[in-house]
Amino acid sequence: MAQQEDIFKKVVSHCKEYGFVFPSSEIYDGLGAVYDYGQNGVELKNNIKQYWWQYMVLLHENIVGIDSAIFMHPTIWKASGHVDAFNDPLIDNRDSKKRYRADVLIEEQIAKYEDKIEKEVAKAKKRFGDSFDEAQYRATSPRVLEEQAKRDALHQRYQEVMNAEGGIDLEGMKQIILDEEIVCPLSGTRNWTDVRQFNLMFKTEMGAAAEGASTIYLRPETAQGIFVNYLNVQKTGRMKVPFGIAQIGKAFRNEIVARQFIFRMREFEQMEMQFFVKPGTELQWFDEWKKRRMAWHQALGFGAENYRFHDHDKLAHYANAATDVEFKLPFGFKEVEGIHSRTDFDLSQHAKFSGKKIEYFDPEDNTSYTPYVIETSIGVDRMFLSIMCHSYCEEKLEDGQTRTVLRLPAALAPVKLAVFPLTKKDGLPEKAREIIDSLKFHFNCKYEEKDQIGKRYRRQDAIGTPFCVTVDNQTLEDNTVTLRYRDTMKQERVNISDLRSIIEDQVSLTSLLKNLK
Ligand code: ATP
């Protein structure tokens, strides 16, 4: 575990050192849970977005895209339920003045019991060696059973307060925190305030005059922009159910516990698709979209064992199925994408609040209905973080040195080809630039002439560049260059005229997309 946390720290500093992610407003000491993408980060992020967009919109005849505004009519958030229910339960410690999410404190306490159980088991395993029967030990060890009983009782109580009639039982939550003797990690005291609900939406005002101004919200998800454009798109695009609308855009949440780098941010980006289907067919489509989305993730080649579904036991009142695609990060399996069967909740709510009829006329059986919706919702930044964590690699070389290499899928790499003149003279730089000029229309190329070749290779390895080319004196004679591969470090002499055909296929999104059956 410690080793994994170590890797996470290394990935965070690598992101900064190599121009992927910077803390926002850094020269002013940063702004909590807000980040900027640097020169390499923006390329990787754009490639992730392209990979999603092209799969969803280009490869699906019945999916179209939109780009709706971040500001929307405030009633939308009433209709969607966000004004009343997009809350986190908060508690403050009076001594440290630190604020916590009450549900997180309780979940961490449950995790502590689990940790104790695992430690007991690990200790016993060491003591008994080969003859250890783990299942029997778990079923009979008094210490393990005691911790399990505590964990189960807490879990049960937690479920009860979270699912109480009329919403979360806030007093019940506080009582659990007191009974479990949970202390503030900073002050070490149990001097807690009451638990209260805190809405996660950012507010601002539109209009100049204080009196005439109306409160509007920064959208906490992009989905509502799709729902309120359902009629526009269906009519003008003459779309036939089943069909989908996709959108990529910023979302904002005033997260209280904003930790783990770009995993939980206050300003982030989502890629969402709402798929409108005939009522009664939604669970079939839900299964279909689970398959399609998982295939999209796995085509990146990080290994199927790093993904799993986490089906929700507790569903939002309007949903009839929900699952998360979880990806293995250094701090455990975590949600990167949600897939939800949302029934006709959103469209019906907007019909009710706007007074407009929002339906679909089905020409096949001459009926009108409110379509049901399957939503796929993925965070660009979380996807970025997962990719960085899985690509980061410290490799021991034969000569005893270590190299840091980002094994990014080639199609996502910020730079596809780096071209180096061996020296800065004899016309080598000019020749190198000539190569770039002929290839730059096809993929992202970079010119580098500073430092020794070995150092230049390392710099490109660190940003995940799959191919490097070195131009030397022989190049001027026979038009051949040394092509070096990032992953194997293999080098071969190739003709300049062959470079495009060798590289393009491997770095293009098209070949990645073609892997998707
Ligand atoms: P979580 O339980 O982690 O808060 P959520 O269930 O609220 O996430 P959704 O509302 O389903 O998340 O949002 C869909 C996706 O948007 C998530 O799977 C995640 O990838 C991304 N996302 C949500 N909140 C954030 C955030 N604060 N920072 C970065 N990405 C986020």
Write down the pLDDT at residue 212.
65
Q: Which amino acid is at 97?
A: K
- All residues at 6 or more sequence positions from 445 whose CB lies less than 8 Å from its CB, including other chains: 415, 416, 417, 418, 419, 435, 436, 439
Atom of ligand 1 minimally distant from the CA of 264: 28
Q: Determine whether the shortest distance from the Cβ of 265 to ligand 1 is under 6 A.
A: yes
Query: What pLDDT tens digit does each residue of the chain (517 aa) get?
Result: 557 778 999 999 999 999 999 999 999 999 999 999 999 999 999 999 999 999 999 999 999 999 999 999 999 999 999 999 899 999 999 999 999 999 989 999 998 999 999 999 999 999 998 889 999 999 999 999 999 999 999 999 999 998 888 778 999 999 999 999 999 999 999 999 999 999 999 999 988 766 667 889 999 999 999 999 999 999 999 999 999 999 999 999 999 876 789 999 999 999 999 999 999 999 999 999 999 999 999 999 999 999 999 998 778 888 999 999 999 999 899 999 999 999 999 999 999 999 999 999 999 999 999 999 999 999 999 999 999 999 999 999 988 999 999 999 999 999 999 999 999 999 999 999 999 999 999 999 999 999 999 999 999 999 999 999 999 999 999 999 999 999 999 999 999 999 999 999 999 999 999 988 6
Q: How far, in Å, CA of 503 to CA of 99, rounded? A: 52
206 and 214 in contact (C-beta within 8 Å)?
A: yes
CA–centroid distance, 379 to ligand 1, in Å, is 6
Which ligand 1 atom minimizes the distance to the CA of 325?
18
What residues does 198 pair with on adjacent strands?
88
Residue 367's H or E segment, with its range, is strand 367-369
Whole-number pLDDT of residue 210: 64
Give me the pLDDT at residue 207, please. Answer: 82
C-alpha 53 chain-centroid distance: 15
Among residues 377, 380, 407, the alpha carbon closest in space to that of 392 is found at: 407
Q: Is 255 in the pocket of ligand 1 (CB under 6 A)?
A: yes
220 lines ligand 1 (CB under 6 A): no
Provide the pLDDT for residue 327. Answer: 96
Instruction: Report d(CA 241, CA 244) in Å as an integer.
Output: 8
Protein residue whose Cα sits closest to atom 16 of ligand 1: 379
Question: What is the Å distance from ligand 1's center to 88 Cα?
Answer: 14
β-sheet bridge partners, residue 243: 276
- Cα distance between residue 247 and residue 181, in whole Å: 45
- The string over 238-249, giving b where at least 16 C-beta atoms fall within 10 Å of a residue's C-beta and e elsewhere, is ebebbbbbbbbb
* DSSP H/E element including 347: helix 345-354
- Ligand 1 centroid vs 233 CA: distance in angstroms? 26
Task: Decide whether any atom of ligand 1 lies within 6 Å of the 268 Cβ.
Answer: yes
264 ligand 1 Cβ < 6 A: yes
Strand partners, 324: 310, 338
What local confidence, expressed as pLDDT, does residue 455 receive?
A: 96
Quote the ligand 1 centre to 253 CA distance (angstroms): 9
pLDDT reported for residue 156: 94
Whether 161 lines ligand 1, by a CB cut-off of 6 Å, is no
Does the beta carbon of 378 sit less than 6 angstroms from any atom of ligand 1? Answer: yes
**pLDDT score recorded for residue 271:** 98
The full length of the chain comes to 517
Q: Which residues contact 499 (CB under 8 A, 6 or more apart)?
A: 417, 435, 439, 469, 481, 483
Say which amino acid occupies 407.
R
Q: Which residues contact 155 (CB under 8 A, 6 or more apart)?
A: 110
Tally: H helices and E strands in the chain: 18, 23
pLDDT at res. 315: 82
Alpha carbons 223 and 231: distance in angstroms, whole number: 14
Q: Which of 268, 271, 293, 386 to mutate to test the pocket of ligand 1 (most atoms within 8 A of CB)?
A: 268
The CA 273 to ligand 1 mean position distance, Å, reads: 15
376 touches ligand 1 (CB under 6 Å): no
Is residue 69 exposed (0-12), middle (13-18) or buried (19+ Cβ within 10 Å)? exposed
The dihedral over CA atoms of 52, 53, 58, 64, expressed in degrees to the nearest 10, equals: 130
Query: What's the confidence (pLDDT) of residue 31?
Result: 94
Nearest CA to 300 out of 12, 516, 64, 16 is that of 516
Q: Are 283 and 302 in contact (CB under 8 A)?
A: no
Residue nearest to atom 1 of ligand 1 (CA): 335
Ligand 1 midpoint to CA 200 (Å): 12
